[in-house]
Amino acid sequence: MSLDYVKFSNGFEKFMPKEYRDMVEHGPFGKKVTVSQMGSFKEVLEEHPMCAGCAMTLFIRLAMIAFPNPEDTITVGTAGCGRLAISQAAIPFVYGNYGDQNGVASGLSRGLRLRFGDKPKDVVVMAGDGGTADIGFQQVLHSWFRKERFTTIMLDNEVYGNTGGQESGMTNRGAVLKMAPLGKKFEKMDMLQMAKVAGCAYVATVVPNNPRRVESVIKKAVLIAREVGSTYIQAYTSCNIEYAIPTDKVMEDAKTVENDRYQFTEYVSDEAKQYLTERYGYKEFLPQPAAAIPNKA
């Protein structure tokens, strides 16, 4: 996709549905929009069939606002709740078999580079914790070892939400779920460490109740994946149905979980730091001036 496609063909404007006209006129394509401006532009994702109050949907909306070039982005997903929303967005979406997403994204990202050369086409995988850490685990890990240049986002609700509450590798030890009534017997998988060992250039954790942080993390991950290598974001996106979180307490839960066991962490490789600084003007990785030593006279 490019901006050439996000406009009306001559003479067709009046025949296009209002939704499409609104997207061309008030959407984010070709503009720089931020999460602070939510409500003042048309988002690429507005309607979805997910449960009321689902934190995953808020996270997906924020992530899509943060894409540096939504008009040149393709999302890849798989079975699970998230694809119900991702597939409704005005961004092309590729749906693979359950767990295939990082294999599909590898081929897609390589194909796009051959076809479009230097013009960036960003590939972003968004899949559940089951799709990423269980069924798709082998493909995820190998895409990282191969340093495939796309972003993998785990929508970590710590359960198989879409199929009614089985435990996943990312469920916490001891958690009792509808279809894990005796409680999970093993620890939550440390996918962050695995991502680092496998050579990801950027690894971060986020929760959706801090929109600016979500925005910053997604932007960095997508930009780094353009040229440096694989990037991984693990987002806590609670399942209010399977964990019985009242709808009006979803953000409170996110805050508690963030403080308790999902603190913000960010790893940026030296190569990625240099790239973000030189190519995109990031200042946060520049050497900080030494703090002045207090005069003891």
The CB-nearest residue to ligand TPP is 128
For 9, the token pair is: 């063909």
Considering the rule CB under 6 A, would residue 238 count as an interface residue with ligand TPP?
no
The full DSSP string for 273-285 is HHHHHHHH---TT
How far is Cα 152 from Cα 51, in angstroms, rounded to an integer? 24
**Binder to ligand SF4 among 35, 56, 201, 203 (CB under 6 A)?**
56
**Binder to ligand SF4 among 6, 16, 51, 180 (CB under 6 A)?**
51
Considering the rule CB under 6 A, would residue 243 count as an interface residue with ligand TPP?
no
Candidates 10-18, 19-27, 76-84, 114-122: pick the segment binding ligand TPP (CB under 6 A): 76-84
β-pairing verdict for 93-95 and 122-128: unpaired
**Binder to ligand SF4 among 81, 86, 204, 222 (CB under 6 A)?**
81
Q: Among residues 81 and 207, whose Cβ is nearest to ligand TPP?
A: 81
Q: Among residues 184 and 226, whose Cβ is nearest to ligand TPP?
A: 184
Candidates 123-131, 141-149, 206-214, 216-224: pick the segment binding ligand TPP (CB under 6 A): 123-131
Stretch 125-144 residues interacting with ligand TPP (CB under 6 A): 128-131
Considering the rule CB under 6 A, would residue 207 count as an interface residue with ligand SF4?
no
How far is Cα 148 from Cα 110, in angstroms, rounded to an integer? 8
The full DSSP string for 43-68 is -S-----SPTT-HHHHHHHHHHHH-S
How far is Cα 169 from Cα 133, in angstroms, rounded to an integer? 6
Stretch 226-255 residues interacting with ligand SF4 (CB under 6 A): 239-242
Candidates 10-18, 151-159, 252-260, 277-285: pick the segment binding ligand TPP (CB under 6 A): 151-159
Place of tokens 């009321």: 52
Candidates 18-26, 101-109, 143-151, 156-164: pick the segment binding ligand SF4 (CB under 6 A): 156-164
CB of 126 to ligand SF4, least distance (A): 13
The full DSSP string for 169-233 is TTSPTT--BTTBTT---SPPP-HHHHHHHTT-SEEEEE-TT-HHHHHHHHHHHHHHHHHT--EEE
How far is Cα 232 from Cα 149, in angstroms, rounded to an integer? 11
**What residue spans of 47-180 are helical by DSSP H?**
55-66, 82-86, 101-116, 129, 137-145
For 292, the token pair is: 């002045």
Torsion of CA 239, 245, 247, 248, to 10 degrees: -130
Apex 204 CA angle, 192 and 94, nearest 5: 90
Residue 100 partner contact from ligand TPP, ligand SF4, none using kind-dependent CB cut-offs of 5 to 8 Å = none
CB of 54 to ligand SF4, least distance (A): 3
Query: How many residues sit in the footprint of ligand SF4 (CB under 6 A)?
Result: 12
Stretch 258-287 residues interacting with ligand SF4 (CB under 6 A): none
* Contact set with ligand SF4 (CB under 6 A): 50-51, 54, 56, 81, 157, 161-162, 239-242
What residues line the site for ligand TPP (CB under 6 A)?
79-82, 97-98, 128-131, 155, 157, 159-163, 168
